[in-house]
């Protein structure tokens, strides 16, 4: 007879979920017993790193991923990383080992009290099976819940004495089950969108991370060209849904109400696709839209559509809707926008390198299909201006702004996309949130280039302190760190690059290597 353990692994195998990320404790060991040879277990040294790696893997692969956490404490350690997974719509299936059923009620050591409440509100669904026989069905539901639009993390707490229980023959039916979404718009809905677009005299396109997630980038390009629209990236961009040297590309919108309205001034129709409207950051009040403008919103996320403060929305699958919409639209007779000028290369100056120099060198030497995982918040604008990104899945940034994403996510991305070069551009403040991820990169021999931009301060906070008139805030400087020494402690090759030439040599070495490399670069501080 099959057991909860055997059926669960058959279910994961059928769904292609044979890469598991975790940091096991005693409650998780029964699940890991007789670990199948066709599965691989990616170990992280902290649950925040584990979820960060799984997040990167899910974002790059587009597939649900199983994460193995340790009870309440492990879940708590993972919550910071879970904020990014929630806002990036990552289909993570988080499992947490629960204490044996007879010991839960008496709150023994490692019992997860009110387990389903712990990860909320950062999961779509949270559940603890009522009996051992319900575990395979709960896992099946979790996988489908995570994968259906709008995608997102889910959580299942599983008592460790459940895995050895027998299950009846009907449990086998779960293994072959498939659940799909059919979010195609109706003809009348498409006509509604078409009429609004056709009537607009000066429309503008605003694209979000969902476009890149469903690999609809080429459709966004076709739409911009068909209607001769400038194309902006929505504020607080965690992905790159549009090629950055295309004539229609205009950059990333600022993360403030007044800033967005100012940038979109003069447009009578704002078409937002695959983004919330909008992810603001700075408190700079103003009108949501410029005078005379209307907004149309296309998303697969019911919550994003419902909470928008302005505009009309259509909820459906992006790729299908864009394909159908393009088939109805005629070529505009408006002139295509002129491409933005390419920034002049930054010249070297005495002392530390400017981040712009780093990005110019990266742009010149990195292969065109390089994937950038970025977590240097004070250099966002300079990076988008100077680094060309052409292909889908080329850029990942923490979707909620939660630090500790970059180092582990780069590892997960490389595991999912082994044929593409992966470069992690990480600030020195950000790096310390998940520095132990370097150990995993070494152990799995993943040729990722980790670039640490070391300016000895929290650069973005320095900017905010001036903006908020808090110039005397303590705790903004972080001097005295040696990232080359830290890397070598984890077994990682490391290079200090304090000149342009040294950085160029390090990049050439990193791109030709079959193992990870850390490059520490002392830099100046610039504004986001």
Note if the bond before 266 is cis, omega within 30 degrees: no
CB–CB of 75/98 below 8 Å? no
N-to-C CA span, the chain: 60
Strand pairing category for 294-299 and 19-22: unpaired
* H/E run at residue 467: helix 459-467
- Name the nearest CA neighbour of 383 among 414, 356, 361: 356
To the nearest 10°, report the CA torsion of 280, 281, 284, 288.
0
User: Which listed residue (25, 48, 402, 429) is catalytic?
Assistant: 25
The one-character DSSP state at 457 is B
Give 300-320 as a 3 state SS string: CCHHHHHHCCCCEEEECCHHH
**DSSP β-bridge partners for residue 64:** none
Catalytic (active site) residue 144 = no
Cβ-Cβ contacts under 8 Å for 466 (sequence gap 6 or more): none
Euclidean distance between CA atoms 243 and 233, whole angstroms: 10
**What are the φ/ψ torsions at residue 525 (nearest 5 degrees)?**
-105, 130
Catalytic (active site) residue 70 = yes
- Name the nearest CA neighbour of 80 among 405, 440, 397, 476: 405
User: Which listed residue (76, 172, 181, 281) is catalytic?
Assistant: 281
* H-helix segments, 338-436: 355-365, 380-386, 406-416, 428-431
Catalytic (active site) residue 28 = yes
**What are the φ/ψ torsions at residue 28 (nearest 5 degrees)?**
-95, -15
Q: How far is CA 60 from CA 171, 237, 518, in A?
A: 31, 16, 22
Catalytic (active site) residue 26 = yes
CB–CB of 176/14 below 8 Å? yes
User: Which listed residue (74, 80, 401, 402) is catalytic?
Assistant: 401
Q: Measure CA 464 to chain center.
A: 24
* H/E run at residue 270: strand 269-273
Q: Give the Cβ contact number of residue 316 at 10 Å.
A: 23
Q: Please report how many Cα atoms fall inside a 13 Å half-sphere around the Cα of residue 157, on the Cβ side.
A: 26
User: Which listed residue (70, 89, 267, 297) is catalytic?
Assistant: 70
Catalytic (active site) residue 401 = yes
To the nearest 10°, report the CA torsion of 132, 137, 139, 144.
-170
Q: Please report how many Cα atoms fall inside a 13 Å half-sphere around the Cα of residue 462, on the Cβ side.
A: 17
Euclidean distance between CA atoms 179 and 148, whole angstroms: 8
Record the tokens describing residue 48, joined without a space: 């925040």
User: Which listed residue (10, 44, 47, 259) is catalytic?
Assistant: 47
- Name the nearest CA neighbour of 75 among 11, 152, 154: 154
For 412, the 3-state DSSP assignment is: helix
- For the annotated catalytic residues, the residue numbers are 25-26, 28, 47, 70, 281, 401
């Amino acid at each position: 007879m099959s057991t909860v353990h055997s059926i669960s692994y058959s279910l994961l195998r059928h769904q292609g979920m044979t890469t598991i990320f975790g940091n096991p404790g005693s409650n998780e060991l029964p699940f890991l017993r007789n670990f199948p040879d066709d599965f691989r277990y990616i170990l992280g040294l902290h649950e925040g790193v584990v979820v960060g790696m799984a997040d990167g893997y899910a974002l790059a692969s587009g597939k649900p991923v199983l994460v193995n956490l340790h009870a309440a404490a492990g879940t708590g350690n993972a919550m910071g990383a879970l904020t990014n997974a929630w806002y990036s719509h990552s289909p993570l299936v988080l499992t947490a080992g629960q204490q044996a059923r007879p010991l839960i009620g008496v709150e023994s050591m490692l019992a997860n009290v009110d387990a389903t409440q712990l990860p909320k509100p950062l999961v779509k669904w949270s559940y603890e099976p009522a009996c051992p026989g319900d575990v395979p069905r709960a896992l099946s539901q979790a996988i489908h819940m995570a994968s259906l639009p709008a995608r997102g993390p889910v959580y299942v707490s599983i008592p460790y004495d459940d895995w050895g229980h027998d299950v009846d023959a009907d449990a086998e039916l779960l293994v072959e089950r498939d659940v799909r979404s059919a979010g195609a718009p109706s003809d009348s809905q498409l006509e509604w969108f078409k009429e609004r677009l056709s009537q607009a005299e000066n429309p503008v396109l605003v694209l979000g991370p969902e476009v890149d997630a469903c690999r609809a980038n080429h459709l966004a390009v076709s739409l911009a060209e068909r209607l001769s629209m400038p194309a902006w990236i929505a504020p607080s961009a965690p992905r790159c849904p549009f090629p950055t040297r295309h004539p229609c590309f205009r950059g990333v919108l600022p993360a403030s109400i007044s800033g967005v309205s100012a940038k979109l001034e003069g447009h009578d129709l704002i078409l937002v696709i695959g983004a919330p409207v909008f992810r603001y950051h700075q408190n700079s009040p103003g009108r949501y839209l410029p005078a005379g403008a209307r907004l149309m919103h296309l998303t697969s996320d019911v919550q994003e559509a419902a909470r928008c403060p302005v505009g009309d929305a259509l909820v459906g699958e992006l790729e299908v809707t864009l394909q159908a919409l393009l088939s109805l639209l005629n070529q505009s007779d408006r002139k295509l926008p002129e491409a933005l000028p390419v920034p002049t290369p930054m010249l070297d100056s005495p002392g530390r390198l400017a981040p712009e120099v780093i990005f110019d060198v990266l742009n010149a030497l990195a292969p065109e299909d390089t994937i950038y995982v970025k977590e240097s918040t004070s250099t966002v604008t300079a990076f988008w201006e100077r680094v060309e990104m052409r292909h889908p899945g080329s850029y990942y940034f923490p979707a909620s702004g939660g630090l500790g994403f970059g180092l582990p996510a780069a590892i997960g991305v490389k595991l999912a996309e082994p044929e593409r070069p992966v470069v992690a551009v990480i600030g020195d403040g950000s790096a310390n949130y998940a520095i132990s991820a370097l150990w995993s990169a070494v152990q799995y021999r993943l040729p990722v280039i980790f670039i640490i931009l070391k300016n000895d301060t929290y650069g973005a906070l320095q900017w905010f302190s001036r903006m908020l008139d808090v110039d005397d805030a303590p705790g903004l400087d972080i001097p005295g760190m040696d990232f080359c020494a830290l890397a070598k402690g984890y077994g990682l090759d490391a290079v200090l690059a304090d000149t342009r030439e040294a950085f160029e040599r390090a990049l050439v070495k990193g791109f030709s290597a079959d193992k990870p490399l850390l490059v520490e670069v002392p830099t100046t501080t610039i504004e986001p």
